[in-house]
């Protein structure tokens, strides 16, 4: 039961507690476009690493580079989805884990290539 006095709404204590309980159980959702940005960034890093793997011997869109990009993306996506499943996180977190794996591997590969060229 709600009563209005001078434009203000008075909510009984019982309804106020229910509203507070519902607010505390609601989790903030990340926007869908953020997951897309993370996935596209991860694929871009994989593409750069595949191109560097061949040391510029092949063009950026050659079949060799595209095959290696496909292998990288499939491998990292599989590992990311398994990690999200094991931890029990939401499916939308897979893109963030995919980007993290791509960053870690590409960082290690770039440091290795810089040291050994």
Task: Render pLDDT for 49-77 as a digit per residue (tens, 0 to 9).
Answer: 888 888 778 888 888 888 989 999 999 99
Does the pTM surpass 0.75? The reply is no
The residue ranking higher by pLDDT, 62 or 81, is 81
Ramachandran region, residue 58 (left: φ > 0; alpha: ψ -120 to 50; beta: rest):
beta
pLDDT of 86 > 90? The answer is yes
Q: By the 8 A CB rule, do 3 and 15 touch?
A: no
Q: What is the rounded average pLDDT of the residues 1-17?
A: 56
Angle at 88 between CA 85 and CA 94, to 5 degrees: 55
pLDDT of 106 > 70? The answer is yes
* pLDDT tens string 92-101: 889 999 999 9
């Amino acid at each position: 039961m709600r009563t209005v006095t001078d434009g203000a709404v008075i909510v009984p204590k019982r309804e106020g507690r229910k509203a507070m309980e519902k607010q505390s159980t609601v989790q903030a959702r990340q926007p869908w476009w953020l997951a897309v940005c993370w996935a596209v960034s991860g694929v871009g890093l994989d593409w750069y690493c595949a191109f560097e793997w061949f040391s510029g011997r092949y063009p950026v869109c050659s079949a060799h580079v595209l095959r290696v990009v496909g292998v990288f993306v499939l491998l990292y996506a599989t590992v990311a989805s398994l990690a999200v499943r094991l931890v029990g996180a939401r499916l939308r977190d897979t893109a963030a884990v995919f980007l993290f794996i791509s960053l870690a591997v590409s960082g290690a590969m770039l440091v290795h290539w810089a040291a050994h060229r």
